[in-house]
Structure 1
Amino acid sequence: MSGSSGNGAVTRSTLRQQIADALRDEVLAGRLQAGQEFTVKEIAEQYGVSATPVREALVDLSAQGLLEADQHRGFRVHEYSVDDYRGMIEARALIIEGMFLRLDEDAERFRPDDPRIAAAVAGVRRRGEEAQRAAAAGDLTVLIGYDLRFWRELSALFRNPYLTDFLHRLRVQTWVCTVQHLRVLTDLRGHLWSGHTDLVDALYHRDNDTARAMLAAYNADSVALIERLAAG
């Protein structure tokens, strides 16, 4: 009996994560739009599952700031303001600056001549190449997928899983906010950042000043775009 109960718990936990991932993708793709409301029952029927893992998944997404819970009306997609976006970018910049400081202080942590580091960087660079292709094509959904993987794998090189998870959640929130504002554009080509491989190359060659300047420009341009779209 205990084994059966354990398997049930694992199955429910897996289902909870799958539903949370699927709904997060729906929000990132803009199919679930800012302010859109839904109930646990509606989502359970949509995915053909029981209410419990759905409720747990929705609570998880609420804790991550993507949804808002209303005790009487269910859940709604959180709508981010321009001020929210500025705050996210500032928080993201502070985290990444901490990573740069670690690079400045601890040369052994990111040695280009370490075969493991070189192999990991090559993998990150491949993600960056895919992200750049998607950005050039204006394919936002594909870009988001590769961009999130790019930053997760890049931050993992610093061997601090707490930093990696926190930065990932923050980038997901930033992308949700970005998608909510970019939906007014019919052609995204020329509006999406595509400096991934240049950033990796700068970090790999210990050119932290160039990397810092690249990210500062990226952040400034991103904020300016969202402000312009919100005003328009």
Structure 2
Amino acid sequence: MPGFIGSGAVTRSTLRQQIADALRDEVLAGRLQPGQEFTVKEIAEQYGVSATPVREALVDLSAQELLDADQHRGFRVHAYSVDDFRGMVEARALVTDGMFHALTGGHLSHLRPDEPRIAAALAGVRRRGEEAQRAALSGEVTVLIGYDLRFWRELGSVFGNPYLTDFLHRLRVQTWVCVVQCLRRLPDPRGRLWADHTGLVDALSRRDIDAARAIVESYDAHALSLMEGLTEGGMGKGPAPGSAREEPPAPGAGTLPRP
């Protein structure tokens, strides 16, 4: 597990969040494997920080179901099953449909995608989608995760209830952790990952909710097929168009400064 060095004083709560983000990124990248165990002391020594913010960060990740806490042995990376994944996909579909409902008959039905503020926000979301597509086509899983998480969070901030957006982000982190745990079995994931991000943005820009729902339903079916294929030893599928490259974001926060 890599160390992180920065500068400047930080509060304990900030350090706690940065440790949680750094460890979450390790899990998302597959560098911390399902069932891998570690203690508060080991993480504190690794990052060169005190035990208190580390313990708080690990408790936070346990609450997000990314880690399991063991009273006597410390913490271990949570191992998800295919049934877990099916439940996550069903839950995120319900949240996404709530976002669409807000556009058609809810509190956001008055929004016009051609309004300057909305149009500018959607342009940014579309750029995230283009980069997610490019990463999916080239098989850069870690880059894809970073852009995909940003894509859905920013899309939710345009069209969604902020509470639903936060819940959807948590679900998407969990589903990615679950997928990454199986994707490492693929010798080459290029072209096998869903990548119709821009199609979804375009449908929502036209307020074509039926098309948007169809895209999400296709996405969910693809995700389930991929996971089931991987757990059964299959290879999965899901080609998508590519796009131009820009600097990829990390899935979570950046460096972890020392206190």
User: Helix, strand or coil for the counterpart of 1:68?
Assistant: strand
Partner of residue 87, structure 2: 87
- 1:82-111 residue CA offsets vs partner (Å, 9 max, x unmatched): 000000000000111111111111464431
Deviation at 1:112, TM superposition (A): 1.7
Partner of residue 71, structure 2: 71
Q: Which moved more, 1:214-223 or 1:83-92?
A: 214-223
Alignment of 1:23-102 (within 5 A): 23-102=23-102
- 1:111-159 residue CA offsets vs partner (Å, 9 max, x unmatched): 1221110010011011111111111110000000000000000001135
Q: In the alignment, residue 189 of structure 1 is paired with which amino acid?
A: R
Supply the distance in 2 between the matched residues of 1:160 and 1:94 (Cα, whole angstroms).
13
Partner of residue 5, structure 1: none
Q: In the alignment, residue 179 of structure 1 is paired with which amino acid?
A: V
Alignment of 1:212-223 (within 5 A): 212-223=213-224
Determine if contact 1:112/1:204 at 8 Å carries over to the other structure.
Answer: yes
Q: In the alignment, residue 177 of structure 2 is paired with which amino acid?
A: V
Deviation at 1:197, TM superposition (A): 0.6
Alignment of 1:135-214 (within 5 A): 135-158=136-159, 160-214=161-215
- 1:26-51 residue CA offsets vs partner (Å, 9 max, x unmatched): 00000001010000000000000000
Q: Which moved more, 1:85-94 or 1:99-108?
A: 99-108
- 1:177-231 residue CA offsets vs partner (Å, 9 max, x unmatched): 0000111001001211110011100000011111111111110111011111112
Structure 2 portions without partners, runs of 5+: 1-8, 234-259
Aligned-residue identity in percent: 75
Q: Which runs of 4+ in 1 moved over 6 A?
A: none
Q: In the alignment, residue 22 of structure 1 is paired with which amino acid?
A: A
Determine if contact 1:109/1:158 at 8 Å carries over to the other structure.
Answer: no
Supply the distance in 1 between the matched residues of 2:13 and 2:182 (Cα, whole angstroms).
33
User: Helix, strand or coil for the counterpart of 1:180?
Assistant: helix
Determine if contact 1:13/1:53 at 8 Å carries over to the other structure.
Answer: yes
Partner of residue 131, structure 1: 132
Q: In the alignment, residue 99 of structure 1 is paired with which amino acid?
A: M
Supply the distance in 1 between the matched residues of 2:193 and 2:91 (Cα, whole angstroms).
20
User: Helix, strand or coil for the counterpart of 1:186?
Assistant: coil
Partner of residue 225, structure 1: 226
Q: In the alignment, residue 135 of structure 1 is paired with which amino acid?
A: A
Q: Which moved more, 1:101-110 or 1:76-85?
A: 101-110
Q: In the alignment, residue 46 of structure 2 is paired with which amino acid?
A: Q
Figure out how many residues of one structure are paired with residues of the other and give that number. Answer: 224
Partner of residue 250, structure 2: none
Q: Per chain length, whose mean CA-contact separation is higher, i.e. which structure has more relative contact order (CA < 8 Å, sep 6+)? A: 2
When the two chains are superposed, the root-mean-square deviation of aligned CA atoms in Å is: 1.2
User: Helix, strand or coil for the counterpart of 1:76?
Assistant: strand
Q: Which moved more, 1:219-228 or 1:57-66?
A: 219-228
TM-score normalised to the size of structure 1? 0.94
TM-score normalised to the size of structure 2? 0.84
Supply the distance in 1 between the matched residues of 2:18 and 2:29 (Cα, whole angstroms).
16
Q: In the alignment, residue 138 of structure 1 is paired with which amino acid?
A: G
Partner of residue 3, structure 2: none
Distance 1:109 1:18, change over 3 A: farther
Greater share of helix residues, 1 or 2?
1
